[in-house]
A = this chain, B = another copy of it.
């Protein structure tokens, strides 16, 4: 893919802003979590790009570098990687092992941004419903954040096992993606939420976190 310095800077700027907001919510405990933004194909490639998955334009995305305290701002917070989760620029930054999961999500959806965070509530929800391999949610208004408008909407947010070997998780991504549900939970680990751009990905993430907290607290009421 061809990208300009402007494309790169725009992606980094989105990540910078989002990182700051989420850090303020303590959504990156212990340097965990990562955020990525897909670089848009240049003008000439746009036609192909709009076709979504079948785009022939090779994937490049900006992602937070691994192991940093995300409450701090440094000149080394982000890097560009390709679909194999390898840096496309000379850098001494290390992409997270989980970059592969981002790559798989980009390859099999039209996601333009993917946000991954660990919260106590998403961990609890993933464990509460581990046997069902999905978190079922019914009727809660915020389901509409996923553009699901039925009155008695019932959704199922998929849960994957949290293998230590990330490529084993990556392999499961494609088949786990549920239509209309822009997110996947890893058991006792965290949520990957995405959207066609950073605005949508944030909206989806906030909706997931609301729903996880709702189902967990509901359970604590003995209901």
Contact = CB atoms under 8 A, between A and B. Distances in A.
Interface of A: 21, 25-26, 29-32, 69, 71, 118, 120, 123-124, 127-128, 139-142, 145, 149-151, 162-165, 186-190, 199, 202-204, 206-207, 209-210, 213-214, 216-223
B123 A151 contact: no
A213 B163 CA distance: 23
A140 B124 CA distance: 10
Contacts of A163: 151
B142 A30 contact: yes
Contact of A124 (B25, B189, B221): B221
A188 B141 contact: yes
Copies of this subunit: 4
Contacts of A165: 151
Nearest to A26: B25
Contact of A32 (B139, B145, B223): B145
Contacts of A124: 214, 217-218, 221
A30 B206 contact: yes
A205 B188 CA distance: 19
B127 A218 contact: yes
A211 to B, nearest CB: 9
Given A25-B26, A71-B21, A221-B124, A31 B214 contact: no
B123 A150 contact: no
A141 to B, nearest CB: 4
Contacts of A140: 123, 188-189
B145 A210 contact: no
Given A164-B151, A189-B141, A31 B218 contact: no
A221 B218 contact: no
Contacts of A123: 140-141, 214
Contacts of A69: 199, 202-203
